[in-house]
Chains A and B, each alone.
Chain A
Amino acid sequence: MYPVSYHKPASVDDAVKALSSGEEAMVLAGGQTLIATMKQHLAAPSDLVDIRGIAELSGIKISGDTLSIGAAMTHAEVAASKDVQKHIPALACLAAGIGDPAVRHMGTLGGSVANNDPAADYPAALLALGATVVTNKREIAADDFFTGLFSTDLEDGEIITRVDFDKTEAAGYAKFAQPASLYALVGVFVAKRGGDVRVAITGAGDDGVFRSEALEAALAKDFSEAAAKGAGVSADNLMSDIHGDADYRAHLIRVMAARAVAGAA
């Protein structure tokens, strides 16, 4: 690892100050990806600003139809939250399947969302649920937030404070794990609100998480496993690597979509 300075601010304002102090300061939200990347010399921040001690970034609340999850909430906390389990069970289920138990004790919602790994689980949930990413500066719709591989709409000095999810009629997530990393080879999140169905795919797209129009149209018409399996999912713009070619991924998208629909609640 290259030398790095560590900061642990107590407030968002202090965090923003710390972020602007270093030449290439980065937010440390859980570190389960960032630290591994730094160890391999693939990232070399000058400063790490650890946001886990900031009170306003923690907590899970329900107000009306909106579930708000603090950016610093760990995957284990989200998975175990009765509020999440009741409000959007698919989200709790997704959090329970990220990484492994030790990773879930450290990794956070905000960290995963800000990193936007093309095989991460949360981006699919945010996009399918039409979530709102709340930062210290503004609110960003998930549709506008994810802008490609490892890239988001976040600006310098902008810190995610929480993510707001509106209640759905039914939502489900199914992941087919890449056998080595256990990241998603294909992960499909479906969310239904009345006649509106949103389907987001992670792990498969060559430009990161995306919505599948074909599946959305098919499931809007008929929210069933058969409709998902029969949807015309194209292999265009899907990733090919040693674990799966684009056509296999396209096939898995249909299968996982059907499983997500079957498990939707």
Chain B
Amino acid sequence: MTKVSLTVNGKPVARDVAGGTLLSEFLREDLRLTGTHIGCDTSQCGACVVHVNGKAVKACTTLAASLEGADVTTIEGLANGGLHPMQEAFKEHHGLQCGFCTPGMIMSGVDMVTRYKAEGRELTQEAIRHELEGNICRCTGYHNIVKAVEDAASKM
């Protein structure tokens, strides 16, 4: 077991974890933050995307033990009360149906908008589609997800 102290959604957390414990398991089973979902086992679907130190990562391919001192944000902690503009936009534009991929989509959406703004690049629809390479949705055909991210980008 490895002792790990980190911040999750703004709150300090300290736990002993097994070496092989994935961040996704740590969040879902140890902290019962079940908004982070598991949709594949090959690191491709992106339903598990969370932010570690402000960057999108796949929680299913990250070891909890490696996160000493890290700052983790999950879908549950994205907004401090109320809704984040990205969450608002997904609702406004019907960017979700079954909701399973949605937490990962929203976390990836926030990440891409943040990066593009920091780099001063324009987040076009084409860029959004390219940036969503690591997030798979089976319900929406992405049309409304792209619209949601585009709209949120203008409000973030």
Contact = CB atoms under 8 A, between A and B. Distances in A.
A103 B58 contact: yes
Interface of A: 1-6, 8, 28, 31-32, 35-36, 38-40, 47-48, 50, 52, 76, 80, 99-103, 105-106, 181-182
Interface string B117-156: 0010000000000010111000000000000000000000
Contact of A32 (B41, B61, B133, B135): B61
Contacts of A39: 22, 41, 60
Interface string B68-95: 1000000000000000000000000000
Contact of B22 (A35, A99, A105): A35
B61 A28 contact: no
A52 B62 CA distance: 13
B31 to A, nearest CB: 19
Contact of B41 (A5, A36, A52, A99): A36
Nearest to A99: B134
B43 interface: yes
Given A101-B131, A102-B49, A36 B63 contact: no
B65 interface: yes
Contact of B58 (A4, A5, A38, A102): A102
B56 A101 contact: yes
Contact of B133 (A6, A48, A100, A105): A100
A28 B64 CA distance: 13
Nearest to B135: A100
A3 B134 contact: no
B103 to A, nearest CB: 13
Contacts of B60: 39
B99 interface: no
Contacts of B36: none
A181 B43 CA distance: 10
A9 to B, nearest CB: 12
A98 to B, nearest CB: 11
A101 B108 contact: yes
